[in-house]
A and B are shown apart, each in its own frame.
Chain A
Amino acid sequence: MTYIGLSVADLAIGAVLIVANGLLSLSLGLKIERTLVIATLRMVIQLTLVGYVLTAVFELASPLWTGAIAFVMIVFAGYEVAARQDRRLKGLWSYGLGATAMTFSSTLVTVLALTTQISPDPWYDPQYAIPLLGMILGNSMTGIALGLSTLTSGVARDRIAIEAQLCLGATRWHACGPIARSAIRTGMMPMINAMAAAGLVSLPGMMTGQILAGVPPTEAVRYQILIMFLIVGATGLGVLMTVFGGLTYLTDSRHRLRLDRLHQARMS
């Protein structure tokens, strides 16, 4: 079991594929060459920087720095959730709802895994804490963004049907229940599908990475199973919090539908 390092020249050969795609775009008039170049440059620069930052943070092994990195990751994830909404919540909720749900669910699940199952010493060892949080955050972010956008587009689309029920004396929970349930289902679906397809259709990235690094496949698989459990746990909790919080904000204590707290759909 050996680990094969990559040189800059190896990467340059790989980059030929990007150049080929760019040429294709030029010759077919796809007009994606600009975005392709920008995305490629961003990816290379971002990952290179992250490599240096992680190396530094791993060497420091300080809970303060680990926490700071975790904080930055959550801030970006919260921003990403807000950016993926067609109809954004007004005010701080737009950004804060997803970020709060992720802070709570992802941190809880990560700390649980670090203190009980993986147990590095110390438990906040950044070599474990940061990749773990990254995987949990990245996946639950997708679920939370999907769940929230299903909720907001649902209440906006079904306004008349929801208000018809409110008019007849239904509570806000009863009138919006079906939409909230479908939002939670939608948010959970990608992870449930990923679990069902894992190993057959797709080899999960983390497991693949461990195998490439020389870890025996059975050992890597065990890690991957644990990660899947953690991701599903964090996604479920995060989606539930987001949908419940979103519904609370989009209605009020007098059981009114408050679409005035929702921005217009973005024109795209």
Chain B
Amino acid sequence: MLSLTHLEPRGLAPVDLALDDGACLAISGPSGAGKTVLLRAIADLDRNGGDAETNSMIRSQVAAPVWRKAVTYVPAESGWWADQVDAHMPAGDPGPLLDSLNLDRACLAWQVSRLSTGERQRLALIRALLLDPNVLLLDEPTSALDDAATGAVERVLTQRMNGGTTVVIVTHDGEQAQRLGGTVAVVGKGCVELSTAGGGR
């Protein structure tokens, strides 16, 4: 679960929100409205006010790295800090995830510079999934993917949600929100508005 109590991202009105285990919140809104700002604030990557909680872990009471392993943000643009792909993978076996996201298992030994944008996007998702977080904060995770790969990502996300993972996803695709069974929230005019009251499943 994820609950936000008076979370104040920069430039947005305070947000109060509660999402159950396995719930999905799809965030839409015009460019520059603050969708990324909201996700970054939840992950505590920018200065922000208020507090957040996941599965009885209170953000202000744990170190930021601990929080981010439980509430993991996957930015729209993936970052790479080593030459080879496998150097970016946390502990765990990425094999099954590579299979289900239509990626070649051999790509772990590739140079990052060789990867296409779509491959990078999926690998960045995989390294977050390997941490097995309570909450995934995804910033347009399928923006560079074709329909087949998008479908694969959505299947993996649905699977995780069935397992209890809460997903907050920024998407411009209204149908994607529907396919993931998400509540829709719109960010605009400096505030976050849920289109159906309450949130949750």
Which A residues lie at the B interface, using CB under 8 A? 158, 160-171, 175, 178, 254-257
Contacts and interface: CB of A to CB of B under 8 A. Distances in A.
A160 B79 contact: yes
Contacts of B74: 167
B71 to A, nearest CB: 10
Contacts of B131: 168-169
Contact of A169 (B46, B69, B78): B69
A165 B79 contact: yes
B65 interface: yes
Interface residues of B, number: 25
Given A256-B45, A256-B47, A167 B80 contact: no
Nearest to A178: B81
A255 B75 contact: no
Contacts of A160: 75, 77-79
Interface string B61-89: 00111101100111101111100000000
Q: Which of B44, B45, B124, B128 has the most CB of A within 10 A?
A: B45
A170 B72 CA distance: 11
Given A158-B81, A256-B44, A256-B45, A167 B75 contact: yes
Nearest to A167: B73
B127 interface: yes
25 contacts: A158-B81, A160-B77, A160-B79, A161-B80, A162-B79, A162-B81, A164-B75, A164-B78, A164-B80, A165-B81, A166-B65, A167-B43, A167-B74, A167-B128, A168-B131, A169-B65, A169-B68, A169-B69, A169-B131, A178-B81, A254-B44, A255-B64, A256-B44, A256-B46, A256-B47
Contacts of B78: 160, 164
A160 B64 CA distance: 18
B95 interface: no
A252 to B, nearest CB: 8
Contact of A163 (B63, B69, B79): B79
Interface string B38-51: 00000111110000
Given A167-B72, A168-B68, 20 more contacts: A160-B75, A161-B81, A162-B79, A164-B75, A164-B79, A164-B81, A164-B124, A165-B79, A167-B128, A169-B65, A169-B66, A169-B72, A169-B131, A170-B65, A171-B65, A175-B81, A254-B44, A255-B65, A256-B46, A256-B47
